[in-house]
A and B are shown apart, each in its own frame.
Chain A
Amino acid sequence: MKVYADNAATTAMSQTAIQAMLPYFDKIYGNPSSLHSIGQEAKEALENARATVAQCLGCEPREILFTSGGSEADNQAIISAARFGARMGKKHIITTAFEHHAVLHTLNRLEKEGFEVTYLDVSHGHNITAQQVKDAIRPDTALVTVMYANNEIGSILPIPEIGAICKAAGVTFHTDAVQAVGHLHINVREQNIDMLSLSGHKFHGPKGVGALYVRKGFPLVNIIEGGAQERGKRAGTENIPGICGMAAAMKEACDNIDKNMPKVAAMRDKLIAGLSQIPHCALNGDPVNRLPGNVSFCFEGIEGESLLLFLDAKGISASSGSACTSGSLDPSHVLLAIGRVHDVAHGSLRLSLSEYNTMEEMDHILTAVPEVVQYLRNMSPVWRDLQTGKRTYIL
């Protein structure tokens, strides 16, 4: 049985999204900037897609900027807010310790330029509270940028509460909502979000396309210079097939959100309940405020990459935050940020589900994972030391 359980990495495209893209490859292939009718037809498709995305987020079409993906949107949002803040002498930014690298590395760059960044602690409940944000805001705070939901451990952050706090304090609020869009109810107006990043391929749309919502009037800085596309804020001929595919996938996801959420959450809960039975393991992430499709565990005494390879051999595609899966020496910064020590962070497993998964697949996972964990523990000198008392259990 083949089970794709790595939907937080990327998703299979929906047929709706594929069909929505096809006309724009070889029939309506014009450049939206062209005057002729085939160009103007592409332009119309672009604006229809913009309206669709805006409707899903509860904003105006002119507040949507299409990008190459979530990373670009994160970069542009953060750089823009930093430049705007600096003009008013504000050079302090608030974020969390478990953001995506698209956010963290952009902030690292700003730190080198003299910005000060507060990284909110996420070790309590594997989440932050709105109060932490409130307490961190200073007169010189230019931006609060916190993710909507964490990609590795699934914690959903208290975005509406943070939005209200930022609004009251007059601080720009950006959220990296790459893991949330299409999976959770989002309304940027009601939730007081000034900027929001999203990526098409996390909700059954195509790769290489994303969007940035920017509240009307906020001064954006260009990351890519060139032509006057996207109201002059993002140069480059628009990826019309990608944009149309993403909009179609987003509409489909948002239209079906109330049906998909409980279905996916039921599969998640089955996995969490089943895998919790494995001795000396721990669930990563907020157990209550959690993405419907996220299951993340650490298993003591084993290493994540070998776990993934054995699961792959059993037809299961999953991911891990172990160092060996990243090519770096350290395990995932997210797992370290929530307080997992290196020894157990290496033994992490993330299973991320979508509505395309089935309960039968969950049964297969629940058979395979405990088998593989036990098999690897049986050849692990760490596990032997734990069992013989030479080493103390952490989990």
Chain B
Amino acid sequence: MALYSEKVMDHLMHPRNVGILEDADGVGEVGNAKCGDIMKIYLKIENDIIVDVKFETFGCGSAIASSSMATEMIKGKSIHDAMALTNKAVTEALDGLPAHKIHCSVLAEEAIKNALRDYYDRHNIPYDPADFPDCEHCEHCH
């Protein structure tokens, strides 16, 4: 049995939405190099719709695949939908991740949330800070 599902391997070997957006409306970065994974998400938002999204990831195969899948899942969606994206949904869309790689999908969820918070901050849009918990699932950060 392979380490990763075919979906993970597909998103790893052919990652979608790699790169940066120079004119991004929101940028979110989570993780740190010491722990071996950093994810950075760039969002272009028009009329509450994510019209473009790019990512950069330093990390293992599942981190890259999770970023790729997560960006695909929010592209063209509303901010509301993007806020509702959970790491569980990313994991399921990838047909599962090994237990010790689940945190990679958590990073993807949190990178997107960070980017959305950045968008709110930049545009002075009020939000509930409780919607943006600090990396609570991620044992790497503790």
Contact = CB atoms under 8 A, between A and B. Distances in A.
B71 to A, nearest CB: 12
A187 B12 CA distance: 48
Nearest to B41: A381
Contacts of A382: 33, 38, 58
Interface stretch (A163-171, A224-232, A303-311, A352-360): A303-311
Given A313-B13, A379-B64, A342 B56 contact: no
Given A324-B36, A381-B29, A303 B12 contact: no
Nearest to B67: A379
Contacts of B35: 323, 329, 342
B15 interface: yes
Given A309-B12, A329-B140, A379-B15, A322 B33 contact: no
B56 A303 contact: no
A182 interface: no
B40 interface: yes
Given A306-B61, A322-B36, A343-B33, A384 B12 contact: no
Contact of A383 (B29, B37, B58): B58
Given A342-B35, A343-B33, A381-B38, A324 B60 contact: yes
A301 interface: yes
Q: Is the interface of A mostly helix, strand, loop or mixed?
A: helix
Nearest to A394: B33
Contacts of A325: 60
Interface of B: 4, 9, 12-13, 15, 18-20, 29, 33-40, 55-64, 100-101, 139-140
Interface of A: 301-306, 309-310, 313, 322-325, 327, 329, 331, 341-343, 346, 378-384, 391
29 contacts: A302-B58, A303-B37, A303-B58, A306-B64, A309-B12, A310-B12, A313-B13, A323-B36, A324-B59, A324-B60, A324-B61, A324-B62, A324-B101, A329-B35, A342-B34, A343-B33, A343-B34, A346-B33, A379-B15, A379-B55, A380-B38, A380-B56, A380-B57, A380-B58, A381-B29, A382-B33, A382-B58, A383-B58, A391-B33
In the A-B complex, the 8 residue pairs with the closest CB atoms: A324-B60, A305-B60, A346-B36, A381-B56, A381-B40, A380-B58, A343-B33, A342-B34
